[in-house]
C-alpha cells in the first residue's frame, strides 16, 4: 500500500483539526441557543370568559387552546434548532472542504524548499559517476528559518565533498603523470645498455627482465590515468558505432592472442560519446575475456545490438567458475576474482573498474553474470544517440 506524502498528511491533519473545531463550535452554539430560547408559554384562562358572541369559554376549551399554543411554541423551537444543525452542518462541510483545499496549497508552499533540497540531492545521487554533480548547490532563498539552515548546511557539505573528490582526482592524475617520467627514463636507459655491442648475454637477460617490469608499471600508470580521466566530464562527444569499435578491437586482439577464437555477432549500435574511451572500454572487456580463460577449448564471443532502444555491447567468455557474490567485487579497483589484490602477471584488477567508470561517464550501465560452466557474461548498455 502506497504511503501518503507529507503534503497529504499535513493537509489531512489541518483539515481534520478544522473539522473537529467546527463540530465543537456547532455543538456549543446548539446548547447555548437551546438554553436561551424561551420555554413554551403556559396560557392561564379564567373559568368563564366572555366572547363577542356572548358565549362562555369552557375549561375544556381553555385547556385545548393552551395545549395548542404550547405545541406551536415547541414546534417553532424544534424547527429553529433543526435548522441550526442542518444549515450549520452544511456550512461546516463547505467551509471544511475549502479549508482542506487551502491547507493543500499552504502545505505545498511550506514544503517547496524541501522539494528543492530533494531535487538537488536526487540529481547528485543520479550522477553518472562518483563525485559528479557535486558542483550543484541549493542556494535556498527566503527567511532564515530551520529549512534555510538545513539547506545551507547541505550546501556546505556538498562544497567539502566536491573539494575532496576534485583533490582525489587531481592527485591520481598528477601522481600518474609524475610516475610516467622516471619509467620512460628507465626504459630508455635499459634499452641503451642492451643495445651496446659489448653487452653480455647476462646483461641482455637482465635488461629484458627490467623491461618487462617497467612495462607492467607503465600499464598500471596508464590504467590509473584512464580511470581518473573517465571519472571526469566528457570533453569529446561524437556519434560512434559500437559494432565498428568492437570489430577493430577484435582484429587487434586476434593478432596478439591467436590461440583463443573470438566469435563476433556485430549489429549496428550507434551511440554518442568519446571514441577513445569507448574503444578502451571494449578493449578491456575483450582483453579480460581472453586473459581469464581456459587453456584449452576456450572461446570469446562479442555481440553488439540495440536492446530496448539502447545500444548494447555483450562480451561472453569461457573461464574459471565465478561465484555470484564475487561479481560486484571484481568491478572495484585493484580487485580480482575471490577478492584477491593485484598480483602475478594476470593484470592489476583495473580492467572492469575502468569499464564501469567509462560506462557511467557516458550515462550507461554495466553488469556481469556468471556463465554456467565458468566464465562471465558482461553487458554494457549506453544511451541512444
pLDDT at 117: 85
> Per residue in 352-370, pLDDT tens?
888 888 888 888 899 999 9
> Per residue in 222-243, pLDDT tens?
766 766 666 665 666 889 999 9
Select from 68, 17, 19, 22 the least CA-distant residue to 45.
68
- 205, pLDDT greater than 50: yes
List the single range of 16-25, 37-46, 48-57, 71-80 with lowest mean pLDDT.
48-57
Q: Note whether 339 and 326 are within 8 A (CB).
A: yes
Mean pLDDT of 258-269: 89
How deeply is 302 buried, as exposed, middle or buried, from its count of CB atoms within 10 A (0-12, 13-18, 19+)? buried
pLDDT at 334: 64
Mean pLDDT of 246-271: 87
Mean pLDDT in the chain?
Answer: 81
List the single range of 18-22, 146-150, 168-172, 339-343 with lowest mean pLDDT.
339-343
Residue 190: how many other CB atoms lie within 10 Å: 19
Question: Which H or E element spans position 338?
Answer: none
pLDDT at 339: 47
At 102, the pLDDT band (50, 70, 90 cuts) reads very high
pLDDT at 327: 85
pLDDT at 286: 93
Give Cα 7 to chain centroid, integer Å: 21
List the single range of 12-21, 68-77, 258-267 with lowest mean pLDDT.
68-77
At 250, the pLDDT band (50, 70, 90 cuts) reads very high
Give strand ranges (E) for the chain.
238-241, 262-266, 270-273, 300-307, 310-317, 365-370, 376-381
List the single range of 83-97, 104-118, 135-149, 292-306 with lowest mean pLDDT.
135-149
Most confident by average pLDDT, 92-106, 122-136, 184-198 = 92-106
> Per residue in 291-339, pLDDT tens?
888 888 889 999 999 999 999 999 999 988 888 888 888 887 666 655 4
Select from 293, 230, 226, 304 the least CA-distant residue to 271.
304
> Per residue in 273-282, pLDDT tens?
888 889 889 9
pLDDT at 75: 82
What residue has cell string 582483453? 287
Amino acid at each position: 500500500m502506497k504511503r501518503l506524502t507529507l503534503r497529504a498528511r499535513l493537509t489531512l491533519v489541518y483539515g481534520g483539526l478544522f473539522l473537529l473545531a467546527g463540530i465543537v463550535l456547532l455543538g456549543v452554539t446548539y446548547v447555548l441557543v437551546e438554553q436561551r430560547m424561551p420555554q413554551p408559554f403556559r396560557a392561564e384562562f379564567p373559568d368563564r370568559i366572555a366572547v363577542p358572541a356572548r358565549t362562555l369559554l369552557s375549561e375544556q376549551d381553555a385547556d385545548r387552546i393552551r395545549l395548542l399554543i404550547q405545541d406551536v411554541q415547541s414546534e417553532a423551537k424544534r424547527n429553529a434548532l433543526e435548522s441550526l444543525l442542518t444549515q450549520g452542518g452544511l456550512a461546516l462541510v463547505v467551509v471544511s472542504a475549502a479549508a482542506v483545499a487551502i491547507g493543500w496549497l499552504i502545505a505545498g508552499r511550506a514544503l517547496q524548499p524541501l522539494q528543492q533540497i530533494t531535487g538537488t540531492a536526487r540529481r547528485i545521487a543520479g550522477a553518472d559517476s562518483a563525485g559528479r554533480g557535486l558542483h550543484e548547490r541549493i542556494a535556498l532563498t527566503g527567511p532564515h528559518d530551520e529549512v534555510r539552515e538545513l539547506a545551507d548546511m547541505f550546501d556546505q557539505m556538498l562544497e567539502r565533498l566536491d573539494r575532496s573528490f576534485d583533490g582525489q582526482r587531481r592527485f591520481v592524475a598528477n601522481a600518474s603523470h609524475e610516475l610516467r617520467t622516471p619509467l620512460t627514463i628507465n626504459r630508455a636507459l635499459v634499452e641503451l645498455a642492451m643495445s651496446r655491442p659489448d653487452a653480455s648475454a647476462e646483461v641482455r637477460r637482465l635488461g629484458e627482465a627490467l623491461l618487462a617490469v617497467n612495462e607492467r608499471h607503465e600499464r598500471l600508470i596508464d590504467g590509473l590515468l584512464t580511470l581518473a580521466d573517465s571519472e571526469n566530464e566528457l570533453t569529446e562527444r561524437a556519434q560512434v558505432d559500437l559494432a565498428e569499435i568492437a570489430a577493430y578491437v577484435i582484429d587487434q586482439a586476434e593478432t596478439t592472442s591467436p590461440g583463443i577464437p573470438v566469435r563476433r555477432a556485430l549489429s549496428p549500435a550507434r551511440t554518442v560519446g568519446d571514441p577513445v574511451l569507448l574503444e578502451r572500454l571494449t578493449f578491456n572487456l575483450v582483453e579480460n575475456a581472453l586473459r581469464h580463460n581456459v587453456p584449452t577449448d576456450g572461446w570469446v564471443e562479442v555481440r553488439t545490438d540495440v536492446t530496448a532502444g539502447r545500444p548494447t555491447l555483450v562480451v561472453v567468455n569461457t573461464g574459471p567458475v565465478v561465484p555470484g557474490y564475487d561479481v560486484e567485487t571484481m568491478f572495484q579497483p585493484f580487485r580480482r576474482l575471490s577478492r584477491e589484490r593485484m598480483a602475478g602477471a594476470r593484470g592489476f584488477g583495473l580492467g572492469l573498474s575502468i569499464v564501469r567508470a567509462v560506462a557511467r561517464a557516458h550515462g550507461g550501465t554495466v553488469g556481469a553474470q556468471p556463465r554456467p560452466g565458468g566464465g562471465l557474461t558482461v553487458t554494457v548498455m549506453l544511451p541512444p544517440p
